[in-house]
Structure 1
């Protein structure tokens, strides 16, 4: 109970600020309509109208919740207006990019830790790669994949998602593989352990906490990459495409519901990664989190 109360207080403050922002941002339209009609509405009337506008600048929380309910539970999952349908399209690209990011991040981390040449050459370029805005890089990736004959929209989205997700894995794995201290390394060498045995029996187990911590960041970054990748690809399905459609047709409800659907998907993916981490920790005899 002591843990829940602070969370509820923060959530209540967020909702209070959200409702206040909805009132202030949507009030101008209500007053403008009243001025054209030659009337002067009271506070209760203004409050009611600002909380129920169809194309509000800032939809109220209950409007977004209703749109979410409609898009998730009231629509068939095969419907093109279902957020479950669009979420699954984005989920597929997210998982493909996530897997690509893990493979690239772990492979580069191993090379950097085991090779001084790779450390001096690969790590600087990995850092520089993260200074390139993904919004500028995404159209280039789309053009290149199309030129190479990649017919599926999944390919550029997966590459963009992998681009955003590999760096957290790389940095954390490098730190984890280098976490054993000199005394531990000297002890294994005293027992005659080969470099391969040192790597598999000491460095890899020591890197697992770092690895799982990075996965929680990487899976969220992969989801962002998949959503961003849907914008320049001309995709008509996916949460990113849904946000773009809402923007093009001036319907903020579509944008906000897709945004919150993406947040729910991200929370679910992070929760799954956390569950896998606890399971792996238990199998290796570690303490339960």
Structure 2
């Protein structure tokens, strides 16, 4: 209970500030409607109307909670209004892009650590690739693949991979270079081959760095997938829900989709954290 108390306190403070902000940001519409109807509102009536608008500027927490409940439990899973359906579409592209990006990051990191030419040539380009805004890249990727007749999951997965490979690359390079000179000299004194040094020293040393970067990468992959859904005119996915909500001024729908995406990202990070705990414990790197 003591551990949960600080978290609950912060959460309560956020909710209070959120309600105050919703009341303030939605008050202009209430005042305008009351003036048109020549109506005088009490404070209670005024606050109640700011928190119950159909299309508020800032939805109140209970409105977002209701939108989440309706999207998750109030619809069939196959319904186009179901957040589970849209979440699965986004999740499938996220996992595909995360797998591609992570594999690319690991392979490039191994090459960079073992080859000086790759270190001097590939690493600068990898850094430069992250300076281009993903909002500029996503439409080009979608258009290029669409012109080739490729739509759906794969283009979104490529965008997700673009964002996810760099954290894995940097973390893996750092991890593979963790062994110090004394450890490397000890392996040489045992006449260990390059493969043995990699599998028995470099790779185990890189595991904590790898899992830390994977947590960042999976969240980045989710962001990339949602961004990839926006310019594609997609009809499914959390990005599509955000887009349709913005078209029709459905702010509650937008916030519900945002919270669903945040919950999905948190779940993915927790799964990787659990895998990390089990893996490091079996390798003797953690208790």
User: Does TM, scored on the shorter chain, surpass 0.5?
Assistant: yes
Corresponding residue number in structure 1 for 2:171: 172
- SS of residue paired to 1:93: helix
- SS of residue paired to 2:26: helix
Cα shift at 1:203:
0.4
Between the aligned partners of 1:285 and 1:117, the Cα distance in structure 2 is 34
Cα shift readout 1:147-175 (whole Å, capped 9, x = no counterpart): 3332x311110000000000100000000
The aligned length equals: 287
Are 2:118 and 1:102 equivalent residues in the alignment?
no
Cα shift at 1:282:
2.1
Corresponding residue number in structure 1 for 2:61: 61
Are 2:162 and 1:163 equivalent residues in the alignment?
yes
Cα shift at 1:2:
2.5
Cα shift at 1:287:
2.4
Cα shift readout 1:165-218 (whole Å, capped 9, x = no counterpart): 001000000000000001000000011111111111100010000000111110
Cα shift readout 1:28-65 (whole Å, capped 9, x = no counterpart): 10000001111221111110001110000000000000
Between the aligned partners of 2:169 and 2:254, the Cα distance in structure 1 is 33
What's the TM-score, normalizing by structure 2?
A: 0.98
Corresponding residue number in structure 2 for 1:6: 6
Corresponding residue number in structure 1 for 2:266: 267
Q: How does 1:84-123 map to 2 (within 5 A)?
A: 84-123=84-123
CA RMSD in angstroms, aligned pairs only:
0.9
Whether contact under 8 Å (1:161, 1:224) holds in the other structure is yes
Between the aligned partners of 1:287 and 1:80, the Cα distance in structure 2 is 44
Cα shift readout 1:56-75 (whole Å, capped 9, x = no counterpart): 00000000001100100111
Between the aligned partners of 1:47 and 1:143, the Cα distance in structure 2 is 47
Q: Structure 2: any 5+ residue segments left out of the alignment?
A: none
Whether contact under 8 Å (1:153, 1:233) holds in the other structure is no
What's the TM-score, normalizing by structure 1?
A: 0.98
Between the aligned partners of 1:148 and 1:161, the Cα distance in structure 2 is 19
Corresponding residue number in structure 1 for 2:182: 183
Between the aligned partners of 1:40 and 1:281, the Cα distance in structure 2 is 65
Q: Structure 1: any 5+ residue segments left out of the alignment?
A: none
Whether contact under 8 Å (1:165, 1:219) holds in the other structure is yes
Q: How does 1:88-237 map to 2 (within 5 A)?
A: 88-150=88-150, 152-237=151-236
Are 2:249 and 1:250 equivalent residues in the alignment?
yes
